[in-house]
Structure formats: structure tokens, C-alpha cells
Amino acid sequence: MRILAAMSGGVDSAVAAARAVEAGHDVVGVHLALSRAGGTLRTGSRGCCTIEDAMDARRAADLIGIPFYVWDFSERFRDDVIDDFVAEYRAGRTPNPCMRCNEKIKFAALLERAIELGFDAVCTGHYATLVETPAGLELHRASDNAKDQSYVLGVLNAEQLAHTYFPLGATPSKALVRAEAEERGLTVAHKPDSHDICFIPDGDTRGWLAEKVGAERGDIVDRTGAVVGAHDGAHAFTVGQRRGLQLGVPAPDGKPRFVLEVRPVSNTVVVGPKEALATAEIAGARYSWAGRPQPAGEFACHVQIRAHAEPVPATATLADDLLTVVPEEPFDGVAPGQTAVLYDGTRVIGQFTIDRTVSAVPVDA
């Protein structure tokens, strides 16, 4: 196949590109410039897509022996990822920018351009597995559960999966990938993995959002609506948060209180006991299906609500363009805006953005 290898400058994408060449494919490397004013250097494992990352990707491509290009996707990244991130926080939701980047940039904008240029597939260093079955192509978890990234790939549809290539999916551990990179002479063999939000490299999400959204003082209320404190901007809070609450009225039982809800229209933050974070039901209207046609009616599945969360047995129902999921045991601290990925064993069924949550604990409990 003609393969376009997305090279971030990290060890995973470098080894993935090398394996694609070794498998006999015609490979071209590309690094995505996602910021018009990208930083020069990373700070440890913070940030990505810096000038340093671009140079690391180029050195890896040179060593592997493939052509290499840098493509400017900064405008698309700003529109589809950064602006979406800000808009979601303004609406009181907690977004996952990595999901949006995979959905809108790596497997939409990049894949579209790759196909236009005659490539058969985009290769990335994600840890996930594609399986051909008589019923169609399926997306499965990676062999290494600790590194599995099928959750952040749950947004991919059947057409996108048909043009993807994940050479690392069957690798038993990340340590083996690093060892292989060292054997190949790749200088990124021991480069730290990126974490946190790539466009907020200093990790100060609250400060960054304050600049974008603006800070406006508002009330912190309990579940009955009684004012128990004040805040300097609702955007700075997320469901499940305990620290940073300016509460002037102690809880009747003296126990800590947690953020249960953010209401942007009234600029109000709702707090309550930890038990009230238990979520009995989640639902959303923005869903997609990975590989096979969408299920009909009610079906059993496992649901994962965070990248590294344990999957939970649940029953899902699709009716009237709304996907509703009821777990066997309540979820803990779910926020609107999060992504729920549905699994059948190791296979990804699909995903949806959570629009509504129902507490397992009544207000008067």
C-alpha cells in the first residue's frame, strides 16, 4: 500500500513508520504543524507539536529512509479543536480535545488529503488493533491494556477505519517499542510521552480558560439551591472537583463537598456530598459507530467514560436519535461533554458525547 505515516516526533509514530516500511509498503512521513506560533522546546513530557518535535520526526524519517514533509494544519486545528474546547467549557461541559483531534484532524483532514494524493491509508503510532471479519472491519483494544488507545479512537467510523494502519496494536508492551527504537538507532527511543493538553503546555488549564472565556464571579450552591460560597468563574470547575472551592458554609455532616454540576447560564456551580457523584444514567445524541452498522434498540455492552477508566457492564438503548446507557453499577463523577465509548469484549462498538447525566442519589437523600 501507499502509506502516509503521521509522525509526531515521538517514539511510537517513529517505530510505526519503520514497521510500515519493513512490511513492504511505500511510505511517506508527515508532521502536522498545529500552531502558527509553536514553541521551540518541550518541557519534559508537557506539550507536543513543537519545533523540537518536528526536528525529531525529520531525523527519524531520514534514518528510516522515507520522504518527509511538514503540513500546516494550524487553522483547522484552531477551528475544530481549540475553539471547540473553549465553546464546550463555555457551555458548562468537560470536553476531550484528544478525541476531537483524532476525529477532525488526524482521521478527517489528514486522511482526506492523503486519499486525494493517492495514498491508501494513514499510519499512526496508536495502540489499537484492526480485525477483518466476515461481518466487516472491527476496531479492537491493543494487546497491551496499559497502553491501549482504542478509547480515543472510538470516534472513527467505518470509512475511516478502512484507511487506517496501526502497526503497534499487537505489541505486548511499550518497553518493547522503546527497545526496538533503540535497536533501529532512533534518537527518540527514550523521549518522554506527551501528556496533558498539547495546546496548553504549561498545564495551567484554569488560567488559559480565564483568558479565553473571561472570569465572572458567581454563586456556589448546594443541591437545594442554598448559596454556600462564591467562585471567580464557573469555567474553572469540573464535575468531581474537590479542591479550590471557596465555601463559606460548612456541610451539615462536616464532610467535604464536591462539584456536582456546572450551570453556565446562571454562572452557578452546584456542590454536594461525594455519594451524589454516583451516576445512574448517561445519554447523548452525538454518536457514531466503529466499523459495523449501528445496533438497533437495546443491547448489552461495556462502557468506558475516560481514557484510563475501567469498562463498566451496561445496557444501551438507541431510540428517537438518543443513545441512553444504564450501568449495572453507577458511574463515578461523570460530566457532560465527556466521551463514552461502548465495547463488546475488546471490540469498539461506537461512542457518544455525554449530554445528560442522572444522579443515582435523589436530592432529598
Examine the residue annotation and report whether 98 is marked as an active-site residue of this protein. no
> How far from 143 is each of 153, 315, 348, 358, CA to CA, in Å?
15, 26, 14, 34
- Return d(Cα 327, Cα 144) in angstroms, integer: 25
- Kindly tell me the burial class for residue 40, based on how many C-beta atoms sit within 10 Å of its own C-beta (0-12, 13-18, 19 or more): exposed
Cβ partners under 8 Å of residue 128, min gap 6: 139, 140, 141, 142, 148, 149, 150, 153, 166, 169
Cell numbers for 138? 472491527
The residue annotated as part of the active site, out of 49, 98, 101, 123, is 101
DSSP string, 141-204: E-S-TTT--TGGGTT--HHHHTTEE-TTTT-S-HHHHHHHHHHHT-TTTTPPPPBS-TT-TT--
Asked if 260 and 242 count as a contact pair (C-beta separation under 8 A), the reply is no
Contacts of residue 253, defined as CB under 8 A and 6 or more positions apart, other chains included, come to 273
Q: How far apart are CA 219 and CA 224, in angstroms?
A: 13
Neighbour count for residue 189 (Cβ, 10 Å): 17
The C-alpha cell at 162 is 478502512
Q: Is 49 exposed, middle or buried (0-12, 13-18, 19+ CB in 10 A)?
A: buried
Is residue 123 flagged as an active site residue? no
C-alpha cell at 285: 445524541
The SS3 call for residue 76 is helix
Give the alpha-carbon dihedral of 225, 230, 231, 232, to 10 degrees: 130
Residue 39 cell numbers, joined: 514553541
> CB–CB of 9/57 below 8 Å?
yes
CA angle in degrees (0–180, nearest 5) for 344-321-362: 80
Determine contact, residues 334/279, Cβ cutoff 8 Å: yes
Indicate which residues carry an active-site annotation.
101, 198
